[in-house]
Amino acid sequence: MTDGVDWAARAAALDAADPLASYRDAFVTTGEVIAYLDGNSLGRPLRATRERLAGFVDGPWGDRLIRGWDEGWMAAPTELGDTIGRVCLGAAPGQTVVADSTTVLLYKLVRAAVDAQVGAEPGRTGIVIDTDNFPTDRFVVEGVAAERGLELSWIRPDPDAGVTPEQVRAAVSERTALVLLSHVAYRSGQIADVRAITEIAHQAGALVLWDLCHSVGSVEVALDEHQVDLAVGCTYKYLNGGPGAPAFAYLAQRHHGRLRQPVQGWMGAADVFAMAERYQPDDGIRQLLSGTPPIVGMLPMRDMLALIDEAGMPAVRRKSVALTGFAVEAADALLSPYGVRLASPRDPRVRGSHVTLDHPDFRQVTAELWRRGVIPDFRPPHSLRVGLSPLSTSFAEVAAGLSAVAEVLSPRRPSSSSPSPTA
């Protein structure tokens, strides 16, 4: 109890009133973890996934063998892509595909976008990106710029917030080919204004590629409605696909046939089994494929997509807002006396599903928390991210986790080494 508030009791009352509380039973939990506050890095596995994986070994793989390709595996990248699009992205069928990692898909989409733009207008040699974007996004863009002799324009956002429409308007010009931004900032959790920023980029003649890694499955997305050109996202965070689960890519229908991805593999060909002498890309979303699809890696996320579909993204988002709001309130009461500062938006309308807190001792604090079975995420130089996956996280976990942070920050806290980094 702190300042007269019994945080455990408040959390218990919120859990009792939570209309999505029953979904927590669908996830694998262990007694070793007291509070899992890192769902924005790796989602918990689902109990149903055990049966799905075992059933796949004994059934489609073990029994059907190579016949599985004719019985569903060939269609899996687009079939599952359509499910992600319908359940989470606000995307009509035929525009989303599951394949490769986020990094590889980013490279494919960035190259496809700038090549198409430069081919149509040779003067469009600029890419706009922000300095606080996730390293993969920045590294990929730097590599493509070096390959193609392009210019990078860097937006420098407030690290506690994110990129604003005004900053994008100041950065784009008639020379801009592509704008690459994250929908939810991986540090602060700020939600970017997709509609306004996409419109500004289009007014300048640029395409927009949105990184959805920290929003898909926790924040509502409307790609078609907002006229987004391209998007990419991972599936091991809020879609609970497991470590190394394949990513997805979205390419708006209007760009099919115009944008051509650079990694030409047989699975992206118009006729995969023609064994043709020359590459002819598929005229639809399948052209984003290169090699053999990761069929086994696609299995776990199906269970999470089914849960999200049943609950509905509006309800998932409401739970996310409630969890992060409770975390902010508890952090103000329990942690601010130790000098902890909120580094995420207070306005829930522009806050994703994680809350970032700053304190100079958080590297050591996080290591100690991990030993206690409280698992948040550390981000250099001194940020602790509290990632709250709406369907698997309880209010009780939030209360227990932040209470543990307060205990470790007290004068009794031990010194320790830093934890391993996570994405």
Residues 6+ apart with CB under 8 A from 4: none
Q: Do residue 382 and residue 329 come from a single domain?
A: yes
Whether residue 420 is contained in a domain is answered as no
Q: Which of 256, 278, 308 is the last residue of a domain?
A: 308
Examine the domain organization and report whether 87 and 174 are in the same domain.
yes
CATH code: domain of residue 117: 3.40.640.10
Instruction: Give me the pLDDT at residue 3, please.
Output: 60
Q: Where are the beta strands (DSSP E) in 121-174?
A: 126-130, 151-155
Q: How far apart are CA 254 and CA 256, in angstroms?
A: 6
> pLDDT-based confidence at 101, cuts 50/70/90?
very high
Segment 217-243 shows an average pLDDT of 98
Per-residue confidence at 421, pLDDT binned at 50, 70, 90? very low
- Please provide residue 249's backbone torsions phi and psi, each rounded to the nearest 5 degrees: -130, 145
Any domain includes 327: yes
pLDDT at 415: 41
Assess whether 175 and 289 both reside in one domain: yes
User: Are residues 316 and 303 located together in one domain of the fold?
Assistant: no
Q: Are residues 253 and 285 in the same domain?
A: yes
* In-domain check, residue 54: no
**pLDDT at 420 exceeding the cut of 90:** no
- Shared domain check, 204 and 124: yes
Q: What is the CATH number of the domain that holds 405?
A: 3.90.1150.10
Higher pLDDT, 304 or 414: 304
The pTM of the whole model exceeds 0.85: yes
pLDDT score at 416:
42
Percent of the chain with pLDDT over 70: 96
Share of the chain above pLDDT 90, in %: 93
Query: Tens of pLDDT along 325-378?
Result: 999 999 999 999 999 999 999 999 999 999 999 999 999 999 999 999 999 999
pLDDT reported for residue 263: 97
Confidence of residue 414 (pLDDT cuts 50, 70, 90): very low
Which of these three, 289, 308, 327, is where a domain ends? Answer: 308
- Co-location of 336 and 363 in the same domain: yes
Residue-number span of the structural domain to which 332 is assigned: 7-46+312-409
* 404 token code pair: 């543990």
Total domain count, the chain: 2
358 within 8 A of 339, measured Cβ to Cβ: no
Q: What does pLDDT average to over the chain?
A: 95
Residue 300 counted as domain residue: yes
* Residues carrying an active site annotation: 134, 211, 236-237, 385
What per-residue string of b and e applies to 247-280 under the rule 16 or more CB within 10 Å gives b? bbbbbbeeebeebbbebeebbbbeebeeeeeeee
The answer on 333 and 264 residing in a single domain is no
Cβ proximity of 347 and 161 under 8 Å: no
What is the pLDDT averaged over residues 74-79?
98
